[in-house]
Amino acid sequence: MNTTRLLRCSVALSVTAASLSLSSCALSPLEAIGWASPQPKEGAPLQPGVRYEVRKALAAGVPFRPKEMKRYYFVMEQPRPPLLAATQKPGSYMNVRTTAYCHDEADHLAYGMKTALGTPLQFGSIRSAAADWSRYPVGTRFRIAGQPDVVYEVDDYGSALVGTGTIDLYKPNQNMMDDWGVRHVDIEVLHWGSYARSMEIMRDRIRWPHVRHMVEDIQAKVYQATLQSLKTPMTASL
């Protein structure tokens, strides 16, 4: 059974049918009801899984009538891992190994001019790129040094890329593919993609070993992110 703690908030509460809005304030536990442990100090971290009671502070001279006061409750949840986006910050630079591919290659003929998303391969101001989605999740965008007018977007993957940091750049013909060859280049990450979207796309494809490998790697990253987030203390401020 969750323990109830009475909190005082020094600002007004705005309540709707769906949510409770607290203006910026410090919540200080005043008393513990039915709680055997010592009363926590003011400003102590809120405890996950505990049901807290919040009441509006009374103005000076206003009589205290408990039956007329509205009571609101909330439960502090554990922090959630950063699943919606990769954990790295955009704007970071790195040196990566790149190769090239085209839709005319034997191992790509079955997919035609489509990406792993089922969308057309891009080659314009925005160009398609394939990578291991557990390292560069779908939707990741980057620039290559020396190509300021071109943005690459990770919208494809390949079995040979899984477990590597290599990025495969789409070229519309084999001559351009051969001309690129293998190059180590500096890239600037403009936007990190979504692990959640990557998992959603791949969940029905795990019968393929390389897809299953990427899914398991993402799950491992989420697990590590969860452990790390639980080490971060939660303060009593909302």
* Ranges 105-114, 132-141, 155-164: which has the least confidence: 105-114
- Cross-strand bridge partners of residue 151: 126
pLDDT value, residue 169:
98
Helix axes 209-230, 195-202, angle to 10 degrees: 150
pLDDT value, residue 105:
76
In the predicted structure, residue 46 carries a pLDDT above the cut 90: no
In the predicted structure, residue 172 carries a pLDDT above the cut 50: yes
In the predicted structure, residue 23 carries a pLDDT above the cut 70: no
- Separation between Cα atoms, residue 49 and residue 187, nearest integer Å: 43
pLDDT value, residue 13:
37
Q: Is 162 helix (H, G, I), strand (E, B) or coil?
A: coil
Asked if residues 131 and 201 have their Cβ atoms less than 8 Å apart, the reply is no
- Separation between Cα atoms, residue 238 and residue 234, nearest integer Å: 10
Q: Is 209 helix (H, G, I), strand (E, B) or coil?
A: helix
Task: Give φ, ψ of 202 to 5 degrees.
Answer: -90, -10
Structure tokens at 29: 């536990």
pTM (whole model) above 0.85? no
- Separation between Cα atoms, residue 214 and residue 9, nearest integer Å: 47
Range list for CATH 2.40.40.10 in the chain: 93-194
How do residues 52-102 score in pLDDT, each as one tens digit? Answer: 776 666 677 777 777 766 766 666 665 554 444 455 666 668 999 999 999
Asked if residues 170 and 101 have their Cβ atoms less than 8 Å apart, the reply is yes
Report, at the CATH architecture level, how domain 93-194 is classified: Beta Barrel (2.40)
In the predicted structure, residue 43 carries a pLDDT above the cut 70: no
pLDDT value, residue 5:
43
Measured at the CA of 112, the angle between CA 107 and CA 115, to 5 degrees, comes to: 90
Instruction: Please report the beta strands in 45-201, taking only residues with DSSP state E, as ranges in sequence order.
Output: 51-56, 72-75, 93-101, 126-130, 141-144, 151-156, 167-170, 183-191
- Cross-strand bridge partners of residue 74: 52
What is each CA distance from 30 to 5, 7, 107, 233, in whole angstroms? Answer: 8, 6, 67, 21
Task: Give φ, ψ of 21 to 5 degrees.
Answer: -110, 125
- Cross-strand bridge partners of residue 21: 14
